[in-house]
Amino acid sequence: MKKITLLIAIFFTFFSFAEVSQAEKSVLISLYNSTNGSAWTTKWNLSQPVATWYGVAIENDKVIGLDLSNNNLKGTLPSDLGGLKNVRAINFFKNELTGEIPTSIGELNSLVSLNLSFNKLEGSIPESISKASNLVSLELFMNGLTGSIPNSISNLQKLELLSLYNNQLTGELPTAIYNLKSIKVLQLNSNKFSGILSPEVANLKNLESLVLFDNNLVGTIPFELERLSNLKEMNVSYNNFNGFVSRGLAEKDTFKMTMVNEQGVATTLSVYTEKDKAIVNEE
């Protein structure tokens, strides 16, 4: 009788913990330890089944989602985060994560949504992120990211939302940006991007929102933007653009095409309705 009772106890213990593999559980514990889990707002009881852990979504015995937004995560993301092979959504919005985005993020082939925004992440956007080819939403805004946007980002052909605003990103907008055929929302404002906005922006047929304000972009605003029939809103002000602009584009811009010239003086692109052209008037 004692033997049967023991076997039943072993069976139910195994069953209760069998919903997640040991490999995935190890990654979660690594995350807990590297982000000071004992100080989280809502903690995990590591002695309980993973299915009971706050913010962990499980389907068919696999971790498919992590939502630990606004949960006082402090520390770095573990290098083995890529071990969550089946995860579709990761949301670590509004915590105090530091360090760099681990390169293993590119191993998450099932990942559809990644939100690491409103943290204190540093370093560059890893090239490896382009391997997460099922990404639809990538949000890294309000961090301290530096460097340029990797050219390999063009591999993310399902991407609809790219939000990188309020970082320290530099360099020219790569040609790769204009190859994101599915992109609907492109938010690159409040960085240090330079160079021109290429006429190739017309390739982004599905674009609905274009936000580039507060950078160092130069040259003229491409009239090719007029071809984007889905474009509902844009903000390209507070750059160093000059020259002419169409009436239609001027009307879409949130700050009415307010620019900054080489002398640091605010300028506006005033529209001539007769010929649908504009010239720069210094204020």
Asked whether residue 148 carries a pLDDT value surpassing 70, the answer given is yes
What is the mean predicted confidence (pLDDT) over 250-254?
89
| C-beta atoms surrounding 87 within 10 Å | 25
What is the mean predicted confidence (pLDDT) over 234-240?
95
> Is the distance from CB of 151 to CB of 176 less than 8 angstroms?
yes
**Three-state secondary structure call for residue 28:** helix
| Percent of the chain scoring above 70 in pLDDT | 89
Angle among Cα 240, 217, 122 to the nearest 5 degrees reads 125
Residue 13 is predicted with a pLDDT of 36
What is the mean predicted confidence (pLDDT) over 210-224?
95
**Where would I find the H helices in the chain?**
2-17, 22-34, 247-252
Under the phi-then-psi rule, with left for phi > 0, alpha for psi from -120 to 50, and beta for the rest, what region is 190? left
> Is the distance from CB of 153 to CB of 174 less than 8 angstroms?
yes
**Three-state secondary structure call for residue 113:** strand
Q: How many residues does the chain have?
A: 283
Residue 261 is predicted with a pLDDT of 79
Segment 5-61, tens digit of pLDDT: 433 333 333 334 447 999 999 999 999 999 999 999 999 999 999 999 999 999 999
Contacts with 186 (C-beta within 8 Å, 6 or more apart), sequence order: 162, 177, 180, 204, 207, 209, 210, 211
Buried/exposed 141-177: b ≥16 CB within 10 Å, e otherwise? bbbebeeebbebbbbbebbbbbbbbbbebeeebbebb
Residue 246 is predicted with a pLDDT of 86
Residue 82 is predicted with a pLDDT of 97
Buried/exposed 220-235: b ≥16 CB within 10 Å, e otherwise? ebbeebeebeebeebb
Asked whether residue 189 carries a pLDDT value surpassing 90, the answer given is yes
- Block residue for tokens 């095409």: 257
CB-side exposure of 243: number of CA atoms within 13 Å?
A: 10
User: Confidence class of residue 270 from pLDDT cuts 50, 70 and 90?
Assistant: low
Strand partners, 170: 192
What is the mean predicted confidence (pLDDT) over 169-184?
96
> Is the distance from CB of 73 to CB of 35 less than 8 angstroms?
yes
Residue 96 is predicted with a pLDDT of 98
Residue 273 is predicted with a pLDDT of 52
Q: How is residue 130 written in tokens?
A: 């382009």
Q: Which residue has the higher pLDDT, 2 or 245?
A: 245
Q: Give the dihedral sign, CA 143/144/150/152.
A: negative
Segment 109-130, tens digit of pLDDT: 999 999 999 999 999 999 999 9
Mean pLDDT for the chain?
Answer: 89
Residue 61 is predicted with a pLDDT of 95
